[in-house]
């Protein structure tokens, strides 16, 4: 399943870059994220509670940052499993300046799901993924503006 989009964040690119690599800010911004701890080498252990339709559960997994080209882009690889199944994703994140001093964060993800959660269908998963992305970027914007 492909998911892509872009969000404008009213903060300078360097500040946005730093926030997107800060485990505590990421934990606060990721919907359902209960724990995000650094393992070293740009790798993190994550625990998230996620619900899609009637299927809810806790996922545990790893998040890894790669191909970092500060402050322009990086790759985010996610792998997790739990009661509802598994999720694997690879996302390219690109930051660029926009008029007025903000930053556009574009993402292009390739996500695979399996198990019970895959049974809800692509359309539902796509909608939920987009909603979670919107929540994440909205929350990150608030944190960057000191409203967190």
In tens, the pLDDT along 60-106 reads: 999 999 999 999 999 999 999 998 899 999 999 999 999 989 999 99
Q: Which helix (H) or strand (E) holds 47?
A: strand 43-52
Using DSSP's 3-state secondary structure scheme, residue 20 falls into helix
pTM: 0.89
Quote the distance between the C-alpha of residue 107 and its chain's center.
9
CA–CA dist 130, 148 (Å, integer) = 22
> Token match 């909608």: residue?
127
Using CA atoms, how far apart are residues 67 and 81, in angstroms rounded to an integer? 24
Report the distance separating Cα 6 and Cα 93, nearest Å. 9
The answer to whether residue 123 scores a pLDDT higher than 90 is no
CA-based nearest residue to 98, from 13, 4, 5 = 13
Which CATH superfamily is 2-144 part of?
START domain (3.30.530.20)
What distance in Å separates the CA atoms of residue 34 and residue 59, rounded to the nearest whole number? Answer: 10
Give the pLDDT of residue 126.
87
Q: Which residue has the tokens 């987009």?
A: 130
pLDDT at 147 over 80: no
Say how many residues make up the chain: 148
């Amino acid at each position: 399943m492909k998911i892509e989009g872009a969000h404008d964040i009213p903060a300078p690119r360097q500040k946005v870059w730093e926030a997107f690599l800060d485990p505590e800010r990421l934990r606060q911004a990721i919907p359902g994220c209960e724990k995000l701890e650094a393992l070293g080498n740009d790798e993190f252990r994550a625990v998230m509670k996620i619900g899609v339709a009637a299927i809810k559960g806790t996922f545990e997994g790893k998040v890894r940052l790669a191909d970092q080209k500060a402050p322009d882009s990086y790759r985010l690889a996610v792998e997790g499993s739990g009661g509802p199944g598994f999720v694997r994703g690879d996302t390219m994140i690109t930051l660029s300046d926009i008029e007025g001093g903000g930053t556009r964060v574009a993402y292009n993800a390739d996500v695979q799901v399996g198990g019970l959660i895959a049974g809800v269908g692509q359309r539902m998963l796509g909608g939920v993924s987009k909603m979670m992305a919107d929540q994440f970027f909205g929350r990150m914007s608030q944190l960057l503006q000191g409203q967190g």
